[in-house]
Structure 1
């Protein structure tokens, strides 16, 4: 029955009929997880997750152990148990309404929670008041309720709670009992403690002998001493954490001796507030700012980025998120001097922060393993099972990745450090290590476990050289170049090309200037802290406030929007006293990766501007390009790394799966292959980018040198790279001059000036289909399949002449119209001395990839029969196979004339020239 007939009578729900409706038992998997998390705290165990997943007897045995430990030690509680209880009791108040008396408690300054059946409406609230300190030897403080400020309620048959504002005068010093987000604060067999005003009497507490009998999705049930008037009481566990809102009770025997009580789980109430906030309820949003802790299932960001429809709102977390959890919460934090001598109080403080961050994976900087061991032990006291992997550098500033064992598998990839040791051990011109004290990047492959599909990503943690002197800045710049080159190279590796990369840590460098340019400007990467830097946010809060910690991700990642941002800087110094002195001078950076409805995002590198100055933009520094060359040449020491035929066969078969080479119809085969090489050309490289790739990888021969396509002259690729960068400097200066005199120059004038500048260089790149034939347009200009290294003399000698086979030309003889062993040329015709097969297959590829793109007045310069003859007479070389595979990894498409030379006679190439 509900007593609501006398304002001096206690309000209560007594009777089984008042048990909350729509309550469901926990699913076995969810209940096992709850018991496991509670056991970590109560029994101090490290659970074996595989056993818990498959063996229900493990849960039963652990539950028995929890029960025995609790009941054996029920009279042996820490001395601070009573102190904390007294502090919590101050926040409990008696609620006086026109209908009677109940209990409530302060959940924030000027905000009270009680039952809906105590305060059903704003009208009731306006006529009600709360009495604090209604207890022995205390002066009662009455405060009015203010439903006009905040009022949220859920009816008695739903979650039976009311949150209402109140005056703050006279209760300013009371510490509120904040709502908690976590749903793993209590399990079956534990004791609860209830502070109440039974029958409207002065404040009393039911301690210890109050056992939890059932845990459901929205409620818990327990045996305890409650009476009418206890409605709206706070229910605590033995750590004085708020676990439930007392709701109703009933007798379970005919003699009315054995009672069972029911409390609404606080996590269920918080879920409702989140749902209301996502629906636009401003009061709910305000209340949520007071909620403490995080969900062990949803982490720091909670449901941000996950709510896409009404169904998702209903599945927020009851008690664990039941929707599609395909996300990973990732963070980076320089804890600063978290070494083996750290005191226990700091370990405890850091553990509390890590628990509240609730990351799946957290990259840590300036740590040591003994301190991390103690941190892992401390986290178990909060029912958090974490472990770590570790890079042991010299000194005390090591790197680590801390991860949630429940959600994530982590594999330390020292093999990556070994693979790139030749560049990771680089030194500056002054002889200093780029990565001081062997503090190389930490590479970790992470797998977030999902029911349908495991989610993988590669995490890279860095701590670059500090200080602002020129040498330290040089070391950071070279380190950024090395990391960028490694990432570029990993993206070509079958093991990593299809998984996202997340790079972060302490870069000791702001984003202004060019120190981190090779990472920030990489077409494969996106710097999440760019907008934070522009907004003036900081991550280093020591003696100089600055943003020197960053998160950079590969551009195949879908990011969850967190308060309209993609990354969050967690300013812990705003909420934790003496944070800098006691914790760290850095604050964490965190990000949520979303995999829900996220497929692979293609990368497009289209030149959207026609300005010549934009075209000559330097995309890779010379240092980065030389590092790429160094890696690629080192691979050539193993011949199979030059061209792995067995591996490429698999790629070839997969690439041409839908092509029927024996179809017997030349026109259909042309169209099918043309469509394939066009649709798979997903990465459009600028001409400058293509040149760097040509010199550092694509055109390398087995001996690590580059051979000019027409003359066969061997050249050191480093020489080509350095000369190309010198050319770019000259071109940039020319561009500046053109901008000054732009009104006096036509576009033709500008192009001619650039061509004159290029002609002064000792190296060049040959477009076997000359640029003038397609008006210098992209993506044709930067398509590596028809670009070859060619020294200036041969390039100029050929000009834009058509390929031709002179009957009287023999490369072995001395012909008047040959130059520098390039070939013979006359009457706008050119026959190369070498490379006939390579250029023929490149032109035929061009016809397949770009039908109709060659200008009409140049189409008569394409002799298809001659190209097919050269294709047949000069078979595909190992060099071409290497080129084709390398270009496939860079651009996404292949040259079918190299993969299947015999298909040439089955294709009608003339369709490209119609």
Structure 2
């Protein structure tokens, strides 16, 4: 028998869990009240940390740019008559409906929601414990082909689990008549791990029951430790066996009001959850393990019953006077399990939780994405791939390659299984659509989803006011309201640097087709203009061109991985650099990417990104800006003039100067420490370009649009007069 207990030694039981939950809930009262005020005044997108909201949007194939575009379309807070977006009916896929639902604009959803809930419910069973001392019920759910997850206070020990079974189909059928329960023996000898503090138990279940039914027929609910499954303000769903009763559903009745490091709090005006139940988002991903009501307490902190007397476990959960619910975050359950030292079959069963399923879910179940190993780590980048290892590198997709060890019959000259490739979106979105296999179709689906989102954003902006001066001035004044009006020199520079960093959130990744072309970089005539040549393009032209380039890049990465199975991460990164150079986007970083090693958030910072055709992008290269004598009389390329000493653009000198000055303020010390980077002695060039070309409506629009997406603003656009007051000397290394 293998038994692992990763717990503190303090005794905990359900009553103790209730008392601890009540204390955690009480301690967070000020933060929770502030959250509720934000939800009421601004909505769900602003009640949580910007980074977590960004990851939640990514899982819905959305981003802040698209969310803000939708937010600008007038509507009542909730509509029951369909979407208020003026789009063709076939534009409303599950992702868009899910985004509207998340934002509180539409309480309708596709019928696939019901189908997903039915499939999820199949994997949830009633845990029945029958010991000589008595019995009790709880809820549990399969999280791998062999393992069930429930609460520690439902199954406290291997001995108790040895007296337990899990019963599936304890529910009414569509005709209202009870279904015949299907019972499986719980097998703690196969695997048993528990954690009293996090109140979870993972235990093996017999593969077949006495009638020969297979456990895998009920599928399982994969656990995903990544952020973005749910955010504060979102409603969640619970499927459960309350008090051992037939399976029931609490549908969107619980609203998340707080996310702690290990726990999540959600409130409802109906019933508390049942111990061991899965807590789902609207995409039927498991967000948390429900483990406790948050009870009303007396002056001594003791949980109260509905009649006002101290509650005792023998009364049952239904007699608890409660005010909220508490669940254990799935990511923390996985972390605790990953830290266990296991060997043999126990290690294999535990590792199933962290691997893509190798057996089918119930028919029609959604595909699941590959996950890293239990420690969340990959091999060192300098080491070649060897059988049984994986290496991950983030590109527009995260490509995870696992090399299968050869089977005995495959050993010998020329016999090797080769790499197994699975693609998962780098920002947490799931690119593969139902029914598609990995490989080129995954690439096509990933690119198609980005393309669809970018074109949707473009369509939503067609009726939007290009620039609202009064609203932007009010936003500008509020942004700098706490700045010292008399600040000057280095103190002014430091204050602006601190403000730009503090308010830079969320921090979008580099996706110009989604973040830049549809709205941010449009000119008043709703066209894009190359920042250096002035050539015009429609936004759709560049969106589609970048999508084609991205698809070619990803196919190139796949081909490289299939061809070079022993390549190191460094070799893969070099290949990606070559692909990006040969298949460029139509976007210019006015501060070249090589100056900051393509790192985020610099790479995706919209303030220094501009539309630019590849010819001009390549012509400029990574040369610093220069003001050439006799520029007006010189023979120049359409993009400008370039010599060994630098590059002078044909157009947009004022705009690129202000964007570069923003970058120097936002990221002091990052450029100028190597040859070919912008030297301090050329600062007067930027200041002169800034003063010679006044801020345009185009730049005002860009600044306002970028502030909506990533939070911060460009001070040189808002207050051009500050340029000569700022001491920029402190921004160079």
TM-score by length of 2: 0.49
- Which has the larger Rg? 1
